Amino acid sequence: MRAGKRRGRPARPRSKGLPIQAIYRVAQLARAMGVPHRQLQRLLEVEDVQVFRVGRLLLVPLAELEEKVPALQSSCTSSHTLWA
């Protein structure tokens, strides 16, 4: 086997926060949290959060996040963002 640098996809930096929206993409939330999107999908499934599939997109309503996973919203949004 050849020694050297491994090539792969570089890790995406964690974003600073998300704007308040009625619906978020699961990938967008996962990127903001710094976790893989499949791990977030499993978390949402365990917490019984309603996720909508539109084609290849997975969408989560803000109301579901606030109601069922309040800790998630705080990790996704910046500290200066206020939740209604």
Average of per-residue pLDDT values in the chain:
80
**pLDDT, position 61:** 94
Q: Are 21 and 57 in contact (CB under 8 A)?
A: no
Would 34 be classed as within a structural domain?
Answer: yes
The total number of structural domains that make up the chain = 1
Q: Is residue 54 part of a domain?
A: yes
pLDDT in tens, 16-42: 667 888 999 999 999 988 899 999 999
In a domain, residue 39? The reply is yes
Count of other CB atoms within 10 angstroms of residue 18:
17
- Does residue 15 sit within a domain? no
Can you tell me the distance from the alpha carbon of 26 to that of 34, in angstroms, rounded to the nearest whole number? 12
Confidence of residue 84 (pLDDT cuts 50, 70, 90): very low
In a domain, 69, yes or no: yes
Note whether residue 84 is domain-resident.
no
Question: Is residue 38 in a domain?
Answer: yes
Confidence of residue 56 (pLDDT cuts 50, 70, 90): very high
